[in-house]
């Protein structure tokens, strides 16, 4: 009888440890990964907001050429870093095509995407 009780207690303890290690630890890691992802999204969103906050007053002042120069900088940066190495990534390929189409009609954007990395 003692053996059956000991085996049952051992089985319950083993199941508890297995559940704890197998369920709660991966959940904690995935929560941590999700928080990291949301943090990187915030960085991307805040960067876009910073550029927009800077560009809107320029547009409102009527200096559209200066606004185009300001907005061309992140386009050129993206193009040099990501679009030139698009591979088979559909989003990159699509955005690269849109940037190249814009550059074909806008000399400021064309100059920015062909500018050497400083």
HSE of 35, CA atoms in CB hemisphere, 13 A: 6
Q: What is the pLDDT, as a whole number, of residue 24?
A: 66
pLDDT, one tens digit per residue, over 28-54 is 777 777 777 767 767 777 788 888 888
Q: Does the reported pTM lie above 0.95?
A: no
SS3 readout for 61-76 = CCCHHHHHHHHHHHHH
Q: Is the pLDDT of residue 116 over 80?
A: no
Q: What is the pLDDT, as a whole number, of residue 117?
A: 55
pLDDT, one tens digit per residue, over 77-111 is 888 887 777 777 788 888 889 999 999 999 999 99
Q: What is the pLDDT, as a whole number, of residue 34?
A: 75
């Amino acid at each position: 009888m003692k053996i059956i009780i000991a085996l049952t207690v051992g089985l319950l303890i083993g199941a508890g440890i297995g559940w704890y290690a197998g369920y709660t630890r991966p959940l904690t890691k995935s929560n941590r990964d999700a928080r990291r992802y949301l943090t990187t999204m915030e960085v991307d969103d805040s960067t876009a907001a910073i550029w927009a906050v800077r560009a809107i007053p320029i547009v409102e002042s009527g200096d559209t050429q200066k606004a185009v120069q300001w907005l061309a900088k992140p386009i050129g940066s993206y193009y040099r870093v990501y679009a030139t190495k698009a591979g088979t990534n559909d989003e990159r390929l699509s955005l690269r095509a849109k940037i190249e189409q814009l550059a074909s009609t806008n000399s400021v954007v064309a100059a920015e995407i062909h500018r050497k990395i400083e």
